[in-house]
Structure formats: structure tokens, C-alpha cells
Structure 1
């Protein structure tokens, strides 16, 4: 009996310990600001904008001064949410079918959700909006987003701007009131306020469309800037958006503190790309302001992390080479969630805790081909401590040559060889490019209707703003996978459903695999309906509008594909 009693006590102790560990798991707030330069903070030398709350966070948290991200939106988000280089997921542009996160990638939200976290995203996604790529299929429970990479892009709700925009909330469109950054932070705070009452921890990802163009003036911060004597210029809207971001970061941090959540919340704030040193007193390269994408002004972003248990002991600047791929492993380690064994990033926890255990020999690869076709060494930097190997041809020592003006590739063959070997190993490890094209899945039970848009054409043109809809010129193809045999309805549109305007064409055609059908339509029709019997398989999908009088043809910019039944029509 005594041994049974001891066993019961031991079991209780183990159970209590497990519960304590689970109870200690931190909440996570991850804020990603779109297209804000490293130098568009007052602490980093901007001469006009004032960002006191972000400046204060940088001082109280750990602030990474040598932190790097891919130079465009979708690749940067891929690195952030997978801990892997974006090329591994087939992401190397922001349009053209190569901005879609491959279905086989595991996201940070997937892992946290599996570990018992409540997960949410507010704002920008830009990694695919159809099944199985949209955030509701990638581990996020609460989804409040706009479409595309910026408001008013082809994928976004028609007519959106940063003011009073329409968002997608868990699959339904809803109208907002106010400026985008205000709306998103308010939504996030409401979400956190609700979730903190529950036992499970939360992961809240706030990904602002600000300060990506098109820019709109924020009324309050614009007034503040003008009262300070700021010139009324084309940059005033941008400045007002940056200061509004700062206000909202401060509002969220104040909320975490007043609600008692600060001590057990991991807070990360970063921008997503370098924006070519915009806002710097002087571009780091001086006269070479239009260089390629392999230089630090395209990659260096601000990043600051606060987790009081660790960072209160060692706040301030950290100068080690770090990057966007490190965010996911950092969060997973601090949240006590097992990391996948295929990550390119490494956890920043040692640096948050003072530096012991950090691998300072790490090499970091940043590459964004900025095209549909990935090319070896195109727009590439291999970074190692003070060294930068650009496109495999130029070498710079940024400690002695911050602007990367003096190519010393001939002086250091050993460094060049080592960094080249690192890149070659990475390049050779990539899956074949054709395997990384992400097809849109039609007829899946999880999404019996999908909306395709021309931003995702993987062959042909690549329209990306809603201004393209007024032109009857663009044509392209989607890669699609028909999930099951049956009849499918194709609804072809020039303008989206929320903007019912005339197609101005006489015929409409769907061409998928070896199946093709053309129908006559009225020039004032808003849509063309075509039903097809399809077999399961992967195909190219092409649509065509023709206007006989003007002898022009173009593709349907929007296509809704609905699965009807399993019986073939006769």
C-alpha cells in the first residue's frame, strides 16, 4: 500500500509539474509592419517622423541591429512563418503564381495551434487566397484580412483604400470604419481581451498593410505633423501612416501592461523589407541608389523582441547577424513547442538571454529572384559576420565599408570559397521548380467554390492592381488541380462580384486540359457562366473574353469555380 501511495504522489507531482509548464507558456503578439524602412524611426535617424513608442520598445526590449529579411512581401512572410528560406516554398515574387506558400509547408500557426494555442491573424497575408493556401487553412482560427499584398490590389475587395476598407472576416466580407492600422489593432486588442479569459494561450499576428502604397493621410497624425511644421508634400501621407503605426504599437503595449498580460507575453515587432534605405539622411551607398536586390539596403529591417523573463535582464542593442527565418524557431523554443528539423533559422533565445549558446558562425542567405523563374545567384546575398557575398561575384566588408562600395572579391578567396559553398549547398537542396508551383485546388470538400484572380496567373501577364481591370489586354493561365470527377461551373468576370460592371465582350471561353467551351454573351453582361465535366487531375486553366468589333481578347480577371455534382452531364 505504501508503494502505491508513493506512486500516486509521484503521479500527482508529475501532473502538477506538467500543468505548471503549460500554464507558463507565453502568449505571443507578432507585429509585422509593411514596407517600413529601417530608417523610418526617429531612433534610427529619421528627421521628420517621430516614433516614441517604438523607440521606447527598442530600448526596453532586445533590439537587433543586424537583422535581415527578403526584400519583398511574400518571400519575407514565407521566411517569417516557416523558418525556412522562401525559395524552398516556391515563393520568389509577389505576383505571377509564385507568391503562394506551398501546401506542404508547415506554418508557425499550424504548430502553435497543434500545441493548444488560440491563433489569429489581422491584416495582410499575401501568400495565397484560395484553398489550401488561405490563412484559415494554414493554422489560423481567427482571420481578419484584406486580399493581396496591399489594399486595392486585384485580390483585394474592389475599391478598398486604407480608410473604411472592407475586410474578410472568417470567410465573410465586412465593412470597417476608420483607418486600416487603427481597425486592425482594435480588432486584435478585442481578440486578446476575449482570449485572455480562456485557459489556452494565444498567438496574435498583426500584419499591417501600412505603410505600403497606396498611401492615405491619417487625419490625426497628419494634423500633428503639420502643427510641427512639416511640409505639406507627397510624403506627408507616408509620414502620417508611420506615426499612426507608432501610436497603435503604443496602444497595444499599454493594453498588455494594464491587463496584466505583459509579463507572460512574447512581443515581436519588425518591418518586412529594407525599402532601399528610404528615410535615411543619406543612402548608405551614396550615388549608387538604384543597385540590385543583393545589397543590405534591401534587406536590413528593424526587429525588436520583448519577453520580460529574458529581456529585462539584457535590454538594448544586439549586433549579431540575424534574420526573418529566426523568428519562428525563437517563438517555438520560448513557447516550448518542438521545432521541425528542416528549419533554416535558429532560435534567438540565447541572444535574448545574454548571448550564451548562440551560434555566431551562422551564415545567412537572402535571395529574391523577383521573377517567375528562379535563377541561381540572381539577387542573392550570403551574409557571414562582417562579410557580404553579392550575386556570387562581389564581396564586401560592411564593418569597414558600410555602404558596400568597395568590392574586395579578389582579396579574400577563402571567404568567397566558403560562402560560395554555403550557397551551392542550399541551391542543390531545393526541390525541382516544377514541384513547387502551387496549383489552386478545385472541387475540394473543404472549399467547394474558389475564386481565382489574375494576380496568380503563373504563365502570361501579371496584372496586380485594380487599375488593370479597365484594360482589355492581359492574358494568362492558372495551374489548377481538379480534386474529383464531376461537373464544375465557371463564372467568368472582368470585374469582381462586388463591382458588377459590363464585361464588354461578345464571347467567353474556358480552356482546361483538353476540355474547351465557348459561349456567346451580351456585351453588357457582368458574368459568363460555363459548365464543364472534368476528370480529376492537374491542368492549365485559361479563360478568354473576345470583343469582335474591336478585335481584342483578354483573360477573365476573376473566375469563380464551383463543384456541382459527381454526375456527368449529357
Structure 2
């Protein structure tokens, strides 16, 4: 499946390219290709000489490719630019490239790469970046669970310093040899952490009711501070439940569809599913549940309704005002004891 996914991405990038050509949009469309983190399974096959993988603080965990193309945009000749950049640079870069106005007082965590990409400058200002993790098993970010990046240096977990110019695989801790470098990078991190700590566990709310996305799927991995191990636990159904932090875009009537299984499965809420043979193994059998009631609580609305053996979805219609609120669901047995929350909630502004 690792190689299959590479082939899938390659084929779909080809489809995107063909669509842009056929539509006459290729020359004046900015195309960016990047990934969200290091490899999950491919480190034993190819890891570009880096140490670590997804969730790791080493280069293999967070260093990713960033390709950008804009034939009519006056970008520099194709080639590698060995400057320290981060995902937070993408937004200010696109704003400058597209010549969009910036509202007064807007602050960015990143900086624009536009002049660098157009060859108007060869280097970026001296900068120090932080890669900070929050872990699935400990959702609140912990001070020190971070990598600090400055030029050729990497300070990992506040305990190890690596010089990538001589040790790209990060095998030699040189903290004792460069105390001044360590002190400077630690000082940067302390100031950075002081800036983010007051809001480090403030959730970015999931928007419902927007013209840009209607309907919206809310899935159980987005429960606040509750780890649900995706498909394995959807199938094994441990007793877990959680809250979605949502933002209602506009006052309207909303339909909430509660499902145990995704709509593509077309399966009853109480039913199980057979094991699924995948390329690299087998998904376990989906557990049947004696669900007798479904409950939805959102804003001031709180209602419980019965579930029959033939129901694939339970729908609620709710009038909601705009603004932030919480949403939670329950699937209950005949004694109204929790079995699980709804793993999939489809929200439509009517």
C-alpha cells in the first residue's frame, strides 16, 4: 500500500495537470505540492538519509518537500532553495504572489517567500523555528516536546543538539561542545512558549453552515481530548465519547445525521461489518451494538429518540443561532447506558 499510495498520488497529480492544460489554466495557476509530516511506513524503504518518521522530532518526522510552480508568475529558474521555511509561510507567500490586500493589523506566524521565489533575494532573514507536538495520547501540548530549528542546528527535546552540516542523520549529540548555541536556542524556545502557552489548548472550531462547505462531516477523531484510534476503534467500539467544538457560521435550520458507520458503508446503526481484507492486512470485524436510543445535544437543543434495527441514520432538525457552541452525541442501550458516541455526524444547513 505504501507504493500504491505513491502511484495514486502520481496519477492524480497527472489528472490535475491534464485538467489545467485542457482548461487553459496551467500557466497562470499556482500549484504547490507538500506533505503534512514525515513518512509513516516508508522509513525502512527510503527516508532521504534522515532520522525518524511521523511524530518524531528528528528531521524525518517534520521535514517535508515543498514544490511550487507558476509558469506565468515570474518565479526563478527551477532548483532547490536551501533556506529554512515552514508551513506558516504559505499563506503570506500566496497573498503576496496574488497581490491581495492585507487587512490592517493582520499578524502572521510565517513570512512571505515571494521575493525568494522570484529571485529578488537569495536568503531569508535569520530565523529560528519551533516544531511543537501535541500527542494523541496526551492532547495538551507539553513544554519541551519540541524541536528548535536554527540554521544548521537542531535542538531536540531540549536534551540533544545536532549539527546537520556534519551529521545529517542526527547521530551525535554535541550539546556539550556548543553551550552558546544551546543557550540561544533555549532562550528562543522559552520566549516562544511564553507566547503560545496561554492559548495552547484553545481549540480551532469546526465550522458548520458555511457556503464554502455544506454539508460538513464531523468525525470522531475530532472529539476534544479523546483518542479514538480511527478505523480499528470504530470497528471494535470501545465505550468512548467526546465533544466537537464547532462554530455556527450563520443562523439557520440545520440537519444533523448521526451514524455509526460512514454513509458509504450503507449499514444499519446496530449492525456489525465483516472483516475487511486490505493490502497490508485485515481490518477486524465490525462489532454489532445493541443501540436503542440516540441523543443529540447542541447549543440549547437536547433530544433523545429511539433507534430501530433497520435505522442507518438518525436525523435531527435544529434551529441554531450563529456563534461558537459544543456538539455531542450518544448511542445508548435499552437502559440508556452509553455504548459510544456517533462516529460520523453529517451536518447540513437547510
8 Å CA contact 2:39–2:61 kept in 1: the answer is yes
- Which residue of 323, 333, 344 maps to 1:558? 344
Q: CA deviation at 1:344?
A: 2.7
Match of 2:161 in 1: 395
**Structure 1 pair 536–315 and aligned structure 2 pair: CA distance change class (3 A):** closer
454-463 or 533-542: bigger deviation: 533-542
Cα displacement (A) at 1:321: 2.1
Q: How much has 1:476 moved relative to structure 2?
A: 1.8
The counterpart of 1:545, out of the listed 328, 331, 337, is: 331
Shift of 1:437: 1.8
| 1:388 Cα deviation from its structure 2 partner | 0.7
Deviation per residue, 1:255-283 (Å, 9 max, x gap): 86898866655443333322167232785
Q: How does 1:323-342 map to 2 (within 5 A)?
A: 323-338=86-101, 341-342=106-107
Q: Structure 2: any 5+ residue segments left out of the alignment?
A: 271-289
CA drift of 1:400 comes to: 1.2
Q: What is the CA distance between 1:428 and its match in structure 2?
A: 2.6
Match of 1:370 in 2: 135
The alignment's C-alpha RMSD in Å is: 4.3
| Aligned-partner Cα distance in 2 for 1:267–1:449 | 27
The answer on 1:293 being equivalent to 2:56 is: yes
Q: Are the equivalent residues in 2 in contact too, given 1:451–1:558 (CA < 8 A)? A: yes
Q: CA deviation at 1:405?
A: 1.4
Output one character per residue of 1:480-536: Cα deviation in whole Å (capped at 9) or x when no partner. Answer: 457889987654332344514143422233345676443333344333456778888
Conserved 8 A contact 1:462-1:476: no
How far residue 475 of structure 1 moved from its aligned partner, in angstroms, is 1.9
1:51-130 correspondence to structure 2 within 5 Å: none
Distance 1:355 1:530, change over 3 A: closer
Match of 1:429 in 2: 195
Q: Does 1:321 align with 2:88?
A: no
**CA deviation vs aligned residue, 1:132-180 (integer Å, no higher than 9, x gap):** xxxxxxxxxxxxxxxxxxxxxxxxxxxxxxxxxxxxxxxxxxxxxxxxx
In the other structure, the counterpart of 1:361 is 126
Q: Check 1:293–1:509 CA distance in 2 against 1; reply closer, same or farther (3 A cut).
A: same
Residues in 2 aligned to 1:282 and 1:407: alpha-carbon distance in whole angstroms: 21
1:495 matched residue in structure 2: 261
Higher mean displacement: 256-265 or 400-409: 256-265
| Aligned with residue 295 of structure 2, among 509, 517, 520 | 509
Q: For the residues of structure 2 that align with 1:420 and 1:293, how far apart are their CA atoms?
A: 19
For residue 270 of structure 1, the aligned residue among 21, 29, 34 is 34
Query: How far apart are residue 401 of structure 1 and its match?
Result: 1.2
Deviation (angstroms), 1:356: 2.8
Alpha-carbon distance in 2 for matches of 1:563, 1:353: 43
Contact 2:140–2:201 (8 Å) recurs in 1? no
- Map 1:9-408 → 2, pairs under 5 A: 215=1, 238-243=2-7, 245-246=9-10, 249=13, 264-275=28-39, 278=43, 279-280=45-46, 284-285=50-51, 293-307=56-70, 310-311=74-75, 314-338=77-101, 341-354=106-119, 356=121, 358-371=123-136, 372-378=139-145, 380-408=146-174
User: C-alpha distance in 2, partners of 1:353/1:444?
Assistant: 35
2: CA distance, partners of 1:471 / 1:428:
39
Separation of aligned partners in 2, 1:376 and 1:508: 39
Tell me, what secondary structure is at the counterpart of 1:424? helix
Q: For each residue in 1:305-340, what CA deviation from the matched residue of structure 2 results, as whole angstroms up to 9, or x when unmatched?
A: 34456556x443322222333333333333333456
Q: Say if 2:270 is the partner of 1:477.
A: no
